[in-house]
């Protein structure tokens, strides 16, 4: 019987190595699998799957809704963004839901993960009014702080200062901000009036009042930089990334400068890096199947893969078996057969079995009077004196008083001689009873008679193979050899049934 593949959403870790059956197990909550999976994979960060279910593949892991995020793999729910953060993506890009975005400096969002409607748009961030400020280092963007005495700020300020926007004010001198820094009139920490761009942002030009977010595919983990760094292979970097995020599983890959993860195509497997930092994919070679980004060898139960890019192994049909490299199939040899889904064809070793054709799905059984040859590739007739009724490997000898011809299905009892014949020799297992014909002048009733009886006392036999002698009629006598009769000589008579006529 052919092996069955686990359906999507189920897995079976160990392959069957003995007769029996193994049950496929449902993937757990937050996990998925493709067809014929040995393990389940976690839904990547940014996606979730509430319950375990039959038939769950990667596409069933849902992207978090706007205003929510899931920061770790195998999430069963998404979390509403905390105070000071939002997520505007409408469940289109999972990589944008690994975390929530901070409100821009100079704004705030007070709701702390209670009402998702208050976290699904950048417009949910409220600009700080004049005389107040907000920034991630001091306020976490959950509220605006009042400027200290002696300082002021315009609306939407991230710091309070007396220095004009886009300038650096130090020791009573006013100068344009350097590249990689900005000023919006706020006083920066350390006593200067220009601020370094924070991690996840950059500013290539001098005299700017804001920093630019690192675009998708780039990151920056150092303050005050004028450029962002390429996201490394095996990782992805959404907008404003500080630390690259591992691609997540073997079912995903992230080339250099990835802003989002890429799902492995069906019939392909992921390559490079570790299991969670794959950065390329390759088409599945012949002899293998690829599912969920993992390459499996077609290695048991008649499995093979005769083409590139297969997501599951094929099973050898009846009369066939896989080649040694599992890249094709070949017909069963003479003397063997296969019902299908077998690594090797089964020798026809059962009673009376043989296979005289290539590619048989079942062994043949020798008919009556025939037996399989020693190599089970053909049949041959039973010798005379033996017989075969079927269901055995050798012909049986006939018993005493029995005989058979070549290729006999059974033995017959030795025949006796017919009337008019006598027994020359008894039969043997391979020769019939030998009988001879009685000549004229003799007769026999047959059966076990060893010779013919001569006619006498007025009897004669004028034919061969006579069973009884005839009586000479009146006026006659038998000839000398008793093989006929003749009239009595002149002057003599006979009343019949005598050898000589009377005077």
Domains and CATH numbers, the chain: 417-503 (2.10.50)
What number is the average pLDDT over the span 100-106? 89
The CA distances from residue 224 to 158, 196, 212, 228, 251, in Å, are 16, 4, 11, 11, 36
Residue 366 has pLDDT above 70, yes or no: yes
Q: What is the mean pLDDT of the chain?
A: 86
For residue 428, give the nearest of 394, 453, 398 by alpha carbon.
Answer: 398
Asked whether the predicted pLDDT for residue 178 surpasses 70, the reply is no
How far apart, in whole angstroms, are the C-alpha atoms of residue 402 and residue 385? 8
Among 294, 299, 328, which Cα is nearest to 311's?
A: 294
More confident residue, 37 or 448: 448
Q: What pLDDT does residue 182 have?
A: 55
What per-residue confidence (pLDDT) applies to 105?
A: 86
Taking residues 277-294, what's their average pLDDT?
A: 95
Residue 58 has pLDDT above 50, yes or no: no
Confidence at 153, pLDDT banded by 50, 70, 90:
confident
Provide the token pair at 216: 């998708």
**pLDDT the model gives residue 160:** 78
Residue 223, pLDDT above cutoff 70: yes
pLDDT in tens, 68-95: 999 888 888 999 999 999 999 988 888 8
pLDDT number for residue 363 = 96
**Stretch 352-372: mean pLDDT:** 94
- Asked if pLDDT for residue 176 goes beyond 80, the answer is no
Q: What is the pLDDT of residues 408-435, one digit of tens each?
A: 999 888 888 999 999 998 887 778 889 9
Q: What are phi and psi of 119, to 5 degrees?
A: -135, 15
What is the percent of the chain with per-residue pLDDT over 90, rounded to a whole number? 54
Which pLDDT value is given to residue 2?
A: 60
pTM: 0.51
Q: Are 173 and 158 in contact (CB under 8 A)?
A: no
How large is the average pLDDT for residues 106-133?
A: 90
Long-range contacts at 85-91 (CB < 8 A, ≥ 24 apart): 85/109, 85/119, 85/141, 86/119, 86/120, 86/121, 86/122, 86/124, 86/125, 87/119, 87/120, 88/120, 88/121, 88/122, 89/63, 90/65, 90/66, 91/62, 91/63, 91/64, 91/65, 91/66
Residue 107's contacts (CB-CB under 8 Å, 6 or more residues apart) are: 125, 126, 127, 128, 134, 141, 156
| Region of poorest pLDDT, from 173-187, 218-232, 460-474 | 173-187
Residue pLDDT, tens place only, 444-501: 999 889 999 999 989 999 999 999 999 999 999 999 999 999 999 988 888 888 889 8
pLDDT in tens, 243-283: 999 998 899 999 999 999 999 999 999 999 998 999 999 99
């Amino acid at each position: 019987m052919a092996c069955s593949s686990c359906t999507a959403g189920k897995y079976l870790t160990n392959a069957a190595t003995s007769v029996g059956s193994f049950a496929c197990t449902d993937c757990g909550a937050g996990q998925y699998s493709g067809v014929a999976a040995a393990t389940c994979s976690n839904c990547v960060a940014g996606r979730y799957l509430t319950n375990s279910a039959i038939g769950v593949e990667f596409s069933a892991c849902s992207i978090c809704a706007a205003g929510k995020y899931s920061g770790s793999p195998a999430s069963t729910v998404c979390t509403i963004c905390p105070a000071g953060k939002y997520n505007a993506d409408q469940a289109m890009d999972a990589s944008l839901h690994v975390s929530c975005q901070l409100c821009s400096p100079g704004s705030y969002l007070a709701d702390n993960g209670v009402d998702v409607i208050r976290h699904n748009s950048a417009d949910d961030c409220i600009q700080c009014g004049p005389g107040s400020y907000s920034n991630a280092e001091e306020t976490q963007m959950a509220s605006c702080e009042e400027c200290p005495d002696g300082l002021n700020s315009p609306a939407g300020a991230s710091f309070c200062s007396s220095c004009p926007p886009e300038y650096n004010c130090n020791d009573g001198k006013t100068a344009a901000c350097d590249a990689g820094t900005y000023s919006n009139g706020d006083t920066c920490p350390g006593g200067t009036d220009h601020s370094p761009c924070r991690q996840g942002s950059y500013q290539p030009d001098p005299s700017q009042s804001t920093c630019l977010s690192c675009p998708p595919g780039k990151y920056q983990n150092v303050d005050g930089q004028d450029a962002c760094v390429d996201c490394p292979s095996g990782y992805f970097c959404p907008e404003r990334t500080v630390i690259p995020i591992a691609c997540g599983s073997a079912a995903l890959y992230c080339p250099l400068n990835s802003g989002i993860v890429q799902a492995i195509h069906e019939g392909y497997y992921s390559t490079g890096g570790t299991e969670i930092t794959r950065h390329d994919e390759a088409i599945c070679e012949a002899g293998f199947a690829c599912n969920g980004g993992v390459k499996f060898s077609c290695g048991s139960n008649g499995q093979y893969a005769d083409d590139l890019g297969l997501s599951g192994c094929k099973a050898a049909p009846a009369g066939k078996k896989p080649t040694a490299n599992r890249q094709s199939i070949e017909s069963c040899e003479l003397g063997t057969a296969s019902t299908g889904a077998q690594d090797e064809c089964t020798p026809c070793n059962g009673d009376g079995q043989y296979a005289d054709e290539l590619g048989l799905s079942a062994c043949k059984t020798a008919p009556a009077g025939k037996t399989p040859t020693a190599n089970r590739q053909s049949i041959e007739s039973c010798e005379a004196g033996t017989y075969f009724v079927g269901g055995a490997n050798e012909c049986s000898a006939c018993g005493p008083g029995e005989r058979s011809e070549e290729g006999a299905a059974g033995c017959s009892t030795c025949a006796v001689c017919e009337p008019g014949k006598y027994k020359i020799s008894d039969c043997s297992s391979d020769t019939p009873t030998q009988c001879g014909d009685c000549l004229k002048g003799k007769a026999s009733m047959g059966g076990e008679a060893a010779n013919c009886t001569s006619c006498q006392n007025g009897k004669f036999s004028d034919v061969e193979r006579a069973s009884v002698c005839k009586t000479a009629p009146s006026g006659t006598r038998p000839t000398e050899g008793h093989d006929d009769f003749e009239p009595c000589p002149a002057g003599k008579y006979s009343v019949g049934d005598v050898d000589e006529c009377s005077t």
